[in-house]
């Protein structure tokens, strides 16, 4: 039985720019196993953002196959994609993407609204995850009452609350100072040790150095896909 949670074969993505078609991905093959910690890197225009959007079911490929946790998602319609996104994927963004009028607890509970949980169930689950990321005493705070690091922890808690198959983090330390970035990377190590599959899209070698595997893209293709022999562990 396969241990892979993500299986991609021949994935291509074309965009129309004026009268031309631009190939952002040119036939990518990637397999990621459960509980892997992968960094995805590449220069601007390499296709890493396009691949991240496809992995996160935010976009559909022009051609190729994508199996996520055994489900063929490459040909799904928007409604089905939204359902898969909510159930299978936890997103962490560079800009946090928190709703300013909601408390930390309410922001974290948001994915559970779409999953059909009752208010009581949502609050219990959201509070439990906020305690796990060290924000048990900040549940009633709104984003503008939190530091950048605390806001990113809220975003991490929101990504974890639905117990998704994969956590997809897009430049998660891009808006944070170096000390706070280390705190977030330490938190990612803990998340990985809890059994989660973690994919971090980054342009920073320092962030990638914590991952167990580093995937580099260039010109719409996988340039290298190597195990990280020098994993940086945080104490």
Domain at 34-59+75-227: CATH architecture: 3-Layer(aba) Sandwich (3.40)
Give the residue carrying structure tokens 């936890």.
90
Residue 2's pLDDT band (boundaries 50, 70, 90)?
A: low
pLDDT for res 1: 46
Query: Looking at beta carbons, which pairs linking 21-29 to residues 24 or more positions away fall under 8 Å?
Result: 23/220, 24/50, 24/220, 25/50, 25/51, 25/54, 25/61, 25/220, 25/221, 26/219, 26/220, 26/221, 27/64, 27/221, 28/64, 28/217, 28/220, 28/221, 28/222, 29/222
pLDDT of residue 86: 87
What whole-number percentage of the chain has pLDDT above 70? 99
**pTM score of the predicted model:** 0.92
Structure-block tokens of residue 175? 């808006």
Contacts of 2 (CB under 8 A, 6+ apart): none
């Amino acid at each position: 039985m396969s241990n892979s949670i993500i299986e991609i074969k021949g994935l291509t993505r074309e965009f129309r720019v004026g009268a031309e078609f631009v190939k952002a991905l040119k036939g990518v093959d990637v397999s990621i196993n459960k509980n892997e910690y992968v960094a995805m890197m590449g220069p601007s225009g390499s296709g890493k953002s396009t691949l991240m959007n496809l992995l996160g079911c935010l976009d559909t490929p022009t051609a190729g196959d994508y199996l996520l946790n055994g489900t063929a998602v490459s040909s799904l319609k928007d409604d089905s994609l939204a359902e898969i996104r909510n159930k299978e994927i936890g997103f962490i963004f560079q800009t946090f993407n928190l709703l300013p009028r909601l408390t930390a607890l309410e922001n974290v509970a948001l994915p559970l609204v779409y999953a059909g949980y009752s208010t009581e169930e949502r609050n219990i689950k959201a509070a439990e995850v906020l305690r796990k990321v060290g924000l048990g005493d900040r549940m009633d705070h709104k984003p503008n009452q939190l530091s950048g690091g605390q806001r990113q922890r809220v975003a991490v808690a929101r990504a974890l609350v639905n117990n998704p198959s994969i956590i997809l983090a897009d430049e998660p330390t891009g808006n944070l100072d170096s000390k706070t970035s280390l705190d977030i990377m330490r938190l990612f190590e803990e998340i990985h040790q809890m059994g989660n599959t973690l994919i971090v899209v980054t342009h920073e070698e320092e962030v990638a150095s914590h991952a167990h595997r580093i995937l580099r893209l260039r010109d719409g293709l996988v340039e290298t896909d190597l195990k990280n022999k020098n994993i940086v562990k945080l104490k």
